[in-house]
Amino acid sequence: MRNGNLKVAKFIKNLDYENLPEEVILKAKICILDLLGAILGGSQTKVAGLAREFARSMWPGQSSTIITQGRESNCVGATFANAFQANALDIDDGYRPIKGHPGALIIPAALAVAELKHKTGKELLEAVVVGYEVGMRAGIIWHDYYPVYHSSGSWGSIATAATTAKLLKLDIEYIYNALGIAEYQAPINPMMRCIDYPSMVKDGIGWGSPVGVTSALMAAKGFTGIPSIFGFHDYSDHVNSLGKEYNILKLYFKPYACCRWAQPAIAATLQLMAKNILDTDEIEKINVYTFKESARLKTAVPINTEEAQYNIAYPIAAAIVEGEVGPRQILDDTLNSPEILKVLKRIEIIHDARFDEYFPKVAEAEVRIITKKGDTYLSGRVKAKGDWDNPLSEKELKDKFYWLAEQVKSTGEAGQIVEVVENLENFKDLDLLFRLL
């Protein structure tokens, strides 16, 4: 069991900014900027306010920044609050093979520990890359080894342990223990339970992220851990590819604030509307054909933000009526738009086994729109925009950041954050970034 874990520990310890491919560094910056947008936009949600208050009361301190609030907690509390904020809108990045969201776990932890330890921009980027590469592989192995589909907070604890261990500059044996402690202490998050019953603790990200941070801190103090799942021989290919293949390059980024499983249907619907110049009032019915997990999402009128995110009919209707699915559509006090609810009632979701075969590697849907005149329009198979092979452009990603950040920041402040992130390698400390946040 030691060999695989030692290889991972050596990768974490030895990864160096100067040896990273330029495209990996660029993608790490994009990940940071995209996730900061998700946090700033998500800071307006009810769960974000509760998480900030809880962090301040349970983890008092002034070493790390709770974003939008300032230095009001220690690194564990800031990780907790910022991870909840990062996933609050469900608009954070994801990785198809693990059906989960690495960035909302990794980046809050990286920021909190980097601030505590007064790290440079290069060191932050190193830790972020480590977190993604170790965490995404942990997710693949986790889903194979453990029989229940666990959400991101489970395997994500290993990701944030790796990130934290890198920033703490732990030696090999301590990193080995940090990975094992993180796996053993990881929350068990049965994902489909939160699909059936959406709540503020969805996806387990808010708890899984600080579990990884505390696991590395424990290891630094001398706690020992079990050998992690990286030690099993069956998974050696994932371990051996570290530093040779960069999974961070195959992330997806979301254009809409809702479950990714709903987004192929949103894309297909909007394509049909635009191509055929259809008006909302012309629509009699919308049939959505999709994969099993997607069809399990809610279709009833949502009563809170979380239900709106884990819904498939509501975000389609919101996109049709308002052209976007973001804070303005899914915050608690915005869910009663008569126009959106009128369209929602015309949507029917149908499980179609055609789309099960390639999921989660590929997530697609097909939409049929029937007009009041009896005309029928069919989209064909459509995947969501933002996957690595169907990417959002650099401009679209930057526009997304401004769209979310300007919920709470001025355009000028948002622009300064962009400038800092795009030039992180030149910063000897991160004080300016944290002041802006």
In sequence order, what DSSP letters do the residues of 78-101 get, joined into one string?
HHHHHHHHHHTTS-S-BBGGGTB-
Residue 373 in 3-state DSSP?
Answer: coil
Compute the distance between CA of residue 109 and CA of residue 133 in angstroms, rounded to an integer.
15
> Is the pLDDT assigned to residue 2 strictly greater than 90?
no
What are the two backbone dihedrals, phi and then psi, of residue 322, each rounded to the nearest 5 degrees?
-115, -5
Question: For residue 428, what is the domain's CATH number?
Answer: 1.10.4100.10
Give the residue-averaged pLDDT of 72-95: 97
Asked if residue 394 belongs to a domain, the reply is no
Preceding omega of 360 cis (within 30 degrees of 0): yes
> Is the pLDDT assigned to residue 1 strictly greater than 90?
no
The predicted pLDDT at position 374 comes to 95
What confidence tier does 275 reach under pLDDT thresholds 50, 70, 90? very high
Within this chain, do residues 350 and 240 fall inside the same structural domain, yes or no?
A: no
Within this chain, do residues 318 and 222 fall inside the same structural domain, yes or no?
A: no
Asked if residue 432 belongs to a domain, the reply is yes
Within this chain, do residues 328 and 190 fall inside the same structural domain, yes or no?
A: no
Identify the DSSP state of 391. Answer: P
Residue 432: CA count within 13 A, CB half-sphere: 17
Question: Which range marks the domain in which residue 96 is found?
Answer: 2-255+399-436
Within this chain, do residues 154 and 52 fall inside the same structural domain, yes or no?
A: yes
The predicted pLDDT at position 157 comes to 98
- Name the residue with tokens 């254009």: 255
Q: Indicate the pairing of strand 376-378 with strand 347-351.
A: unpaired
Q: What percent of the chain has pLDDT over 90?
A: 97
Within this chain, do residues 245 and 302 fall inside the same structural domain, yes or no?
A: no
Within this chain, do residues 188 and 116 fall inside the same structural domain, yes or no?
A: yes
Within this chain, do residues 273 and 224 fall inside the same structural domain, yes or no?
A: no
Question: For residue 282, what is the domain's CATH number?
Answer: 3.30.1330.120
Within this chain, do residues 376 and 409 fall inside the same structural domain, yes or no?
A: no
Asked if residue 391 belongs to a domain, the reply is no
What confidence tier does 361 reach under pLDDT thresholds 50, 70, 90? confident
The predicted pLDDT at position 181 comes to 98
**Domain tally, the chain:** 2
The predicted pLDDT at position 204 comes to 96
Within this chain, do residues 242 and 167 fall inside the same structural domain, yes or no?
A: yes
Task: Report the range of poorest mean pLDDT among 67-71, 101-105, 306-310, 358-362.
Answer: 358-362
